[in-house]
Structure 1
Amino acid sequence: MLWFLLAVVTLVVLITLLIFRVKDLSEYDGQDWVIKEVAPNPAHDEVIERIKDMGRASRGLKGKARLIALRNHLDSLGEGVDIESDIRHQDHPRGEWILAPGADSRRRVLYIHGGAWAAGSPRSHRAITDRFSRIANAAVFAVDYRLMPEHRFMDGIRDCRQAYAWLLNHGPDGEAPVDFMVVAGDSAGGSHTLSLLAWIRDNGLRQADAAVALSPSTDLTLTAPSNRENIRTDPLLGPVFGGLSKIPLPVLWWGTLAAFRISPTNPVASPLRGELNKLPPVLIHASTTEMLLDNATRYAAKAKAQGSPVELHTWQNMVHVWHIFTPLLPEADEAFEDIAVFLQKVEQQ
């Protein structure tokens, strides 16, 4: 009986390795990147309390009720934001336009929000999209892509692709070709952003002039060291996803395949594992203490190795996607100033 069990386990392991073929990417670790030092600030404590409020909002709830509570709380982040932009709803593709005063409608930003592919919306990220419209002097379209689990992961991917193709020839005032195009996103939306760039390249569409990925997820295999080492220092992702570190990786891969209906090694879901050549200029932001730090560093290192122009700027001790806490956090304002400089440099090249 023991030999039979050992044979079964061995067979399962071999099948797992054969199906997923997870390549070791540690060769991209250990490079030096720009790190911005951060001084203590009372605003940091307030941000931590807001993150704790998110946990309290779903405490004791399970299943769909917990997901709804998380979605509502995340959306509430955008309700109290003081913005000057004009907001216009769009049905096809679904989303909203964010237009800062005087924004040039032929300059466009496709913004893809984060939220672990199951939460978030254009409303939750208005603090970010409002700033993008101002610093880029552009019309921002925040796509309201379909979320899991009600929809398949690929449904959201298709929504982002459709939105990009549509934006090339449509602005907030109707049909008009784009002059300057940017794709941007955070966390899960950062993954969609980087995945989209490769799809654009491979399908012969007009490539984006630039892309910005904020604390992006780039690898669903969860093999990067920071996925485990930064659990305790990540106040947002640590409490939610830290428990995954106790589950054997092969089990997580099968779970991802079942939930996403796509392999965690597929570049559509894990853009780090695709070909990163011939991409437009990309700026990536990450925090030194977040779980997804190495997702960012590995992507940047591999893209540079394959000849694509990419910059990675990291901030000390910031929460995951700290940009959403503008103007409360001075480091959020610094991050948007950094993005503005990057976009200006791209246009001057």
Structure 2
Amino acid sequence: MIQFLMKLPDWLLILLSRKKQIQKGERMLHAPFQFLLKLSENMVTDWETITPDQFRAGYLEQSRISSGFPSAVEWKDHEVEVKDSTIKVREYYSDSTNNNSPALVYFHGGGWVIGDIETHHELTGLLCSKLEAKVFSVDYRLSPESKFPVPLEDCEKAFEWVVNNSKDLGIDKDRIAAGGDSAGGNLTATLCLKRRNEEKSLPKAQLLFYPVTDLQLNKESMDQCADGFFLTKDAMFWFRKHYLNAVEEMHDPLVSPLLASDLSNLPPAIVSTAGFDPLRDEGDEYANKLISSGVKVFHQENDGFIHGFANMSYIPKVPEALNEICTNLKEMMK
């Protein structure tokens, strides 16, 4: 039903939202997002009482709004050893991902606390199809059960597993990119930073959908878009509380990569940001800092979008944004 409603004319969606089209500065909220936010406006979260398990269940249910999984894509699960445990890594493949294909190791979003490979199943399938590359979706351990740096360490172990098993997996070990959305974008950026610092092999490219890059949470957009646009300022403070062992860790570049003194010699990057997102400014700043450090960057600014749009391919204009991202990432992975 939602997919059908989103195809209504913009003027009608604005009318159904019962308010004027929302504007912040020169940015106008894309009409389908405004209507979607109207539908969910009664979903109020009490950040003082909600538990991680409750939030996880709600997020999983929300992720079931779908525009359809690509019919040509198949998947299978692997178990990968990490420190003191094992995690699941889901491999997506198709007839287009023949032997020696490129690959993307993907880290899902969810503030390090919620989300898993199921909540991002459609997105990773779409990426497999559009990139004509194998995608490996990583079910890293979540906070607060596993706080920083465990999620980052799990992601690095998964990346190394893909690299070390590239021949058996049928992929080109020299064309393995890393990527993620939101907290997953943070894990991608910090993985690249960590491996560069330790002089280890780097991903061929990095894909950053609306990444968390500064957990000080003090940018202008954090206040400008504090409430009413899916991700909220209060949610970010809740996520930070659960992810970090102590708030002082927010100054660590492996938590807040924007604070790194040196961003040179990092993989080429796709940075995609949304205009109505508390994380907008830190994503834009990270893209600009990478560019000034000599890193090749494709910076996609989606002025009328909200946080989480990559999982909303049923919204008009989102498929075009994803196509543009994948076209540029394919070039970087050559």
Classify the TM-score, shorter chain: 0.7 to 0.9
SS in 1 for 2:250: coil
Structure-2-length-normalised TM-score: 0.79
CA contact (8 A) 1:215 1:286 kept: yes
CA contact (8 A) 1:78 1:127 kept: no
CA contact (8 A) 1:78 1:126 kept: no
Question: Quick one: distance in 1 between partners of 2:172 and 2:329?
Answer: 20
Identify the residue that residue 209 of structure 1 maps to in structure 2: 204
Q: 1:342 to 1:211 in 2, by over 3 A?
A: same
Question: Quick one: distance in 2 between partners of 1:175 and 1:101?
Answer: 12
Q: Does 2:263 match 1:276?
A: yes
Q: 1:177 to 1:337 in 2, by over 3 A?
A: closer
Count of aligned residue pairs for this structure pair:
298
Q: Does 2:300 match 1:346?
A: no
Structure 1 letter corresponding to 2:294: G
Q: CA deviation at 1:334?
A: 1.4
Question: Quick one: distance in 2 between partners of 1:257 and 1:136?
Answer: 31
**2:294 paired residue among 301, 304, 307:** 307
Structure 2 letter corresponding to 1:69: Q
Question: Quick one: distance in 1 between partners of 2:246 and 2:123?
Answer: 27
User: CA offsets per residue over residues 148-181 of structure 1, 9 Å max, x none?
Assistant: 1111221111100101111113259548652411
Q: 1:100 to 1:174 in 2, by over 3 A?
A: closer
Q: 1:104 to 1:169 in 2, by over 3 A?
A: farther
Instruction: Tell me whether 82-91 or 215-224 shows the greater mean CA deviation.
Output: 82-91
**1:48 paired residue among 37, 40, 52:** 37
Identity of aligned residues (%): 22
SS in 1 for 2:294: coil
Q: Does 2:56 match 1:68?
A: no
**1:150 paired residue among 129, 145, 148:** 145
Identify the residue that residue 19 of structure 2 maps to in structure 1: none
Structure 2 letter corresponding to 1:324: N
Q: Which runs of 5+ in 1 are unaligned?
A: 1-35, 246-251
User: CA offsets per residue over residues 290-312 of structure 1, 9 Å max, x none?
Assistant: 11011111111211222111232
Question: Quick one: distance in 2 between partners of 1:80 and 1:303?
Answer: 35
The alignment yields a C-alpha RMSD, in angstroms, of 3.1
Judging by fraction of residues, say which structure has more helix.
1
Q: CA deviation at 1:73?
A: 2.3
Structure 1 letter corresponding to 2:37: I
CA contact (8 A) 1:131 1:336 kept: no
Q: 1:136 to 1:38 in 2, by over 3 A?
A: farther
Q: Which runs of 5+ in 2 are unaligned?
A: 1-25, 81-86
Question: Quick one: distance in 2 between partners of 1:90 and 1:347?
Answer: 24
Q: CA deviation at 1:345?
A: 3.1
Judging by fraction of residues, say which structure has more strand.
2
CA contact (8 A) 2:174 2:204 kept: no
Identify the residue that residue 325 of structure 1 maps to in structure 2: 312
SS in 2 for 1:212: strand
